Amino acid sequence: MLIAAPTDINSALTDWQSPMGLPEFARIDNGDFAAAFAAALPAHLAEIDAIAGDPSAPTFENTIVALERAGEMYERVSGIFWNLSSANTNDTLQALERELSPELSRHHSTIMMNADLFARIDTLYWDRASLGLDGEAVRVLELTWKAFVRAGAQLGAGDQKRLAEINERLASLGTAFAQNVLADESAYALVLRTEDDLAGLPDFLIWSMAAAAEERGHDGNHAVTLSRSIIEPFLTFSTRRDLREEAFRAWIARGEGPGEKDNRPIVAEMVRLRAEKAALLGYESFAHFKLDNTMAKTPEVVRGLLETVWEKACGRAMEEADDLAALIAAEGYNHSVAPWDWRHYAEKQRAARFDLNEAELKPYLQLEKMIEAAFDTANRLFGISFRRHTNVETYHPDVRVFEVLDTDGARIAVFLADYFARPSKRSGAWMSSFQYQHRIAGEAGDESQIPIVVNVMNFAKAAAGAPVLITMDDARTLFHEFGHALHGMLSDVTYPSISGTSVSRDFVELPSQLYEHWLTVTDVLQRFAVHHETGEPMPAALLEKLRAAEKFNKGFANVEFTSSALVDMAFHALDPAAAADLDPVAFQAEILAGLDMPAEIVMRHATPHFAHLFAGDGYSAGYYSYMWSGVLDADAFGAFTDAGDPFDSETAQRLKQNIYASGGSMDPEDAYVAFRGKLPSVDALLEKEGLA
């Protein structure tokens, strides 16, 4: 437990004096965070107590706005710590993370279960129609009230105590889950030592594997790591079936390490505690609890969407599997299509059917040019520009810093970009923030704070002097995460709690998934998909082949995803009795068997490393959100198609105002209708995925 607050905290954690308002990372030591949190937490609680104990009658200003402004020191220290613990961690940070997770959960419970504070909020909530508030303020008041209720503010003392204990334990378990997965990913390397081990691999992958081997102390060799930027192309191109199987089995076994590194008992306890938490709060299941404040509203609606896609995806996947089996037989082999075969033979099938392969595409997909494409697209849509600063220190030498400017040249945001894989970084790709946009900063509460946003990815580095070439999937990931970043950077709201990506979970993926559409706009590819040696743009014939193959292998992709989402919903639909004594892997197998899961395909995220669900609470009972937002984004891009121009200025302005800039200031359905004029149906998604 953190002890009494010291006074000698490192000011670099709280007073950000680096250019563009960034922290002075060089002045921050890993050991500084414990003292900073020990000071920040009681300072935050003192502010909360002052609001709760205010002798004046509650007003929106002295209660809600005061609550919005409270905890600045805590927010700053947290902003640095949690970004580092994900993107550049070490033993010291991980030890503190394990200590902090339950402590911060207790801190949150103390605030959300403060009876005097909730009484003030409750009074304002029931009087909200007479307070003369604008729409944004009413929205903040309503969301604040609901957040307190969902955190147990209306429970009796005994139930509040138990809920706080559950939350504390869940926080510790989520941290352990994430650290176990990272340990497995960091420790693994399949070292390839002979030319035969490299059979079938293209040069770009060999270069990346050489760099990965060198980073892990295997100079002169090549390493298959569990970074998607290496493992997926290895499974695609390697002609060594034995090595594909070995690497694949390690990839899907993350989180199943021995002893304390085994995530299976962690998952079992988390599912049980979540079910108990939901029951305490009066919900039928944790899925009902999580979905109550989303667009979907209920598990039944989510399952309806998932099952519609599942049925069509399975049918398509079986057709695809038959095609791959025929290809294997034509090569003279008699083995069935195993999961470690699928990517390899699918790539061959795509090459045969469309005269297209990843090795042909990749020379045109330079990381630097794709970054430029993402920036240029934002400029053409929203009028913003990006100015790189190379003399600003960051938390790692790989991190780039950009000043984001509006059409008048005024700074509206700072963007950090951290593109390359390393052992100190968890896998995957994400957007996060060091600080959020709002307009109640300063002592008088009348100043604006610009957002500081970061994109983190795990692309493989190239050999020294060689360009970093990425796959089409990597390029989509870059555009996807940059769409999230724009959601944070273009935010234009008054209050921090509704800033940027602070929207319902099944709406937050709309800005990111929608932005992916611009990657394949003809003009964008012709300008930025240029050959790394000749500078020539992607040939029209290759572009046409790429378009023709857009819906190839979509059965596989949708089975991978939808099976994961259905297992997520099944775990979190359990009541406390059903969740007791759960064997997570057996339960996963039972659900998949009930779905008739194709043997040739595995879940995109097996339960022991399903970080979306168990490395915290973010996407638990919410993995479906990518598909829900997929319904929205497939329809949303249609607004530009209808306008006849992917950069139509009037449509882009509506998009910016109602989707990217509005944060959580509007109900998601209202925001979407304000942009598009109507709500979409699932048909647009099925058409996009080739499943109609």
Containing H/E element for 567? helix 554-572
Per the listing, tokens 């949303």 go with 636
The residue written with tokens 């395909």 in the block is 601
Q: Rounded to the nearest 5 degrees, what angle is found at the Cα of 524, between the Cα atoms of 350 and 521?
A: 60
Single-letter amino acid code for the residue at 533: E
Q: Quick check: 327 and 345 in contact, CB under 8 A?
A: yes
Cβ proximity of 660 and 486 under 8 Å: yes
CA distance 172 to 195: 45
Query: Can you read off the two tokens belonging to residue 513?
Result: 């998934």
Rounded distance, CA 224 to CA 180, Å? 20
Q: Residue 29 — φ and ψ, nearest 5°?
A: -105, 150
Q: Using CA atoms in the order 506, 508, 514, 519, what is the torsion angle rounded to 10 degrees?
A: -130
Catalytic residue among 47, 347, 358, 481: 481
**SS3 letters for 426-470?**
CCCCEEEEEECCEEEECCCCCEEECCEEEEEEEECCCCCCCCCEC
What length does the chain have? 692
Per the annotation, the verdict on 509 as an active-site residue is no
Cα–Cα–Cα angle for 360, 364, 368, rounded to 5 degrees: 145
Q: From CA 549, how far away is CA 324, in angstroms rounded? A: 16
Residue 448, Ramachandran bin (φ over 0: left; ψ between -120 and 50: alpha; else beta): beta
Rounded Cα distance between 50 and 692, Å, is 58
The DSSP bridge pattern shows strands 190-192 and 222-224 to be antiparallel
Place of tokens 């049980």: 272
The rounded distance, in Å, linking the Cα atoms of 118 and 52 is: 8
The token pair at 157 is 């003392």
Angstrom distance (rounded) from CA 399 to CA 394: 6
CB count within 10 Å of CB 509 equals 25
Q: Do residues 488 and 431 make contact, with C-beta atoms less than 8 angstroms apart?
A: yes
Alpha helices in 152-227 (DSSP H): 157-187, 203-215
Q: Show which residues are catalytic.
A: 481
